[in-house]
């Protein structure tokens, strides 16, 4: 008996599981293709978008990861997974202030959750290290003292604060609980993305520690992460893994294949952001120009000073708002918009021109620049409002 079409369809979760399998093999391009196929039938599935963001993160594509993370966050703002992946994407995009806010939000919402506390601590230390991150790392260890990742995070946060003795002890405890932590930086796939991220960070910090010019501690001194388990455990045979003896060592990760292009098109988000900026900017210009015209009947000098200040403020405010709202550079978004939606592109350039005309009134006087500013602003706003 043949199955019905609804029974034979692949569910979004099945697409996601297949993507995870491909990612575990380092085939991130095929993993992204599976997510793309799932999103074609379920564009609003937050789990697919979160997994896509994690794939882009492990493939070192932070811009694409941030687009997926932002969309997942809009659909499921209360899920810890969406917040975590967004904080990682923001950090990798070097938006440290925004990343710190998201990490602090994770710590605030789930004060008794071990994963939230250790992950929030590690993310906060990436963006803005300090006592708050160290306290959260200790909280993660207190809540789940038998979980190796909690001690790994404490080691990372402590090392970033240059508390190397504490970092050494925490890392040794992590190795005692799970010896696989020692090779976590070689993991592929997205299931253990957080563990891999913290292990790579600790490895980099360990290199910094070995180059430290401060006096070394009394012998025996040992840098971290260590290739072997804690000192109170038997050392393995030299041929198990000893790079100094030329041993082959553990097998490296399989070769990876990164997604060749973005799965999600950022143009839709960019167009919405630019349309909002046009409405805000043009309304501001219309109000400012009208007030300037009224003020000019009382004092031309005062109105020109006012016009110069408010024109610059509006222009800067629009540019700052766009830089924070868009998930790509403003110039890139406008360039794409010129080929896809000329009306909105013209309105955007009109929004940038109108404040300059208000400043022009401050420089040369006369009502002509104010009238021109109001006309340009009105036309730009009409282009957006009447767009279908």
DSSP collapsed to 3 states, 43-84: CCCHHHHHHHHHHHHHCCCHHHHHHHHHHHHHHCCCCHHHHH
pLDDT of residue 258: 58
pLDDT of residue 116: 94
Alpha carbon 116 to its chain centroid, in Å, reads 17
* Residue recorded with tokens 């210009």: 285
If the chain, 388 residues long, is cut into consecutive pieces of 10 residues, what is the mean pLDDT of each piece? 52 91 88 89 89 91 87 87 93 90 94 93 90 92 93 92 89 90 81 88 74 40 38 36 36 56 60 84 91 87 90 90 75 77 87 92 88 92 82
Q: By C-alpha distance, which of 135, 223, 225 is closest to 174?
A: 225
Contact 72, 46 (CB under 8 A): yes
Taking the C-alpha atoms of residue 336 and residue 280, their distance in angstroms, rounded to an integer, is 21
The two structure tokens encoding residue 58: 């492990």
Cα dihedral 146, 149, 151, 153 in deg (nearest 10): -150
The two structure tokens encoding residue 182: 């020692």
Cα 171–188–36 angle (5° rounding)? 135
pLDDT of residue 50: 93
* Total-model pTM: 0.65
Q: By C-alpha distance, which of 220, 225, 187 is closest to 205?
A: 225
What ranges in 326-365 are assigned the alpha helix state H?
Answer: 330-340, 342-364
pLDDT of residue 247: 36
């Amino acid at each position: 008996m043949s199955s019905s079409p609804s029974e034979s369809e692949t569910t979004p979760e099945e697409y996601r599981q297949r993507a995870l399998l491909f990612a575990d093999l380092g085939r991130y391009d095929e993993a992204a293709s599976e997510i793309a196929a799932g999103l074609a039938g379920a564009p609003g599935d937050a789990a697919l978008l979160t997994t896509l963001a994690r794939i882009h993160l492990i493939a070192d594509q932070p811009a694409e990861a941030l687009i997926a993370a932002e969309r997942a966050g809009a659909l499921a703002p209360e899920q810890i997974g969406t917040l975590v992946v967004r904080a990682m994407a923001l950090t990798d995009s070097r938006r440290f202030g925004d990343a710190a806010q998201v990490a602090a939000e994770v710590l605030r919402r789930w004060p008794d959750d071990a994963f939230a506390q250790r992950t929030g601590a590690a993310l906060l230390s990436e963006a803005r290290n300090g006592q708050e991150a160290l306290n959260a790392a200790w909280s993660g260890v207190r809540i789940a003292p038998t979980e190796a990742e909690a001690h790994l995070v404490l080691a990372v946060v402590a090392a970033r604060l240059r508390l190397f003795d504490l970092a050494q002890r925490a890392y040794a405890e992590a190795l005692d609980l799970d010896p696989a932590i020692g090779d976590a930086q070689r993991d592929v796939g997205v299931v253990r993305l957080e563990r891999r991220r913290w292990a790579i960070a600790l490895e980099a910090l360990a290199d910094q520690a070995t180059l430290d010019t401060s006096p070394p501690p009394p012998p025996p001194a040992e840098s971290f992460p260590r290739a072997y388990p804690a000192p109170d455990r038997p050392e393995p045979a030299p041929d198990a893994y000893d790079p100094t003896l030329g041993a082959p060592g553990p097998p490296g990760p399989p070769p990876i294949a990164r997604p060749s292009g973005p799965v999600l098109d950022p143009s839709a988000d960019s167009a919405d952001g630019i349309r909002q900026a046009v409405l805000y900017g043009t309304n501001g210009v219309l109000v400012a120009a009208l007030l300037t015209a009224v003020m000019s009947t009382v004092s031309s000098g005062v109105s020109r000073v006012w016009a110069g200040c408010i024109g610059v403020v509006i222009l800067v405010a629009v540019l700052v708002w766009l830089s924070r709202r868009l998930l790509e550079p403003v110039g890139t978004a406008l360039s794409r918009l010129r080929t896809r939606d000329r009306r909105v592109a013209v309105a955007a350039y009109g929004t940038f021109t109108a404040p300059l005309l208000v400043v022009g009134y401050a420089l040369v006087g006369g009502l002509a620049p104010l009238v021109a500013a109001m006309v340009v602003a009105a036309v730009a706003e009409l282009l957006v409002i009447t767009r279908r």
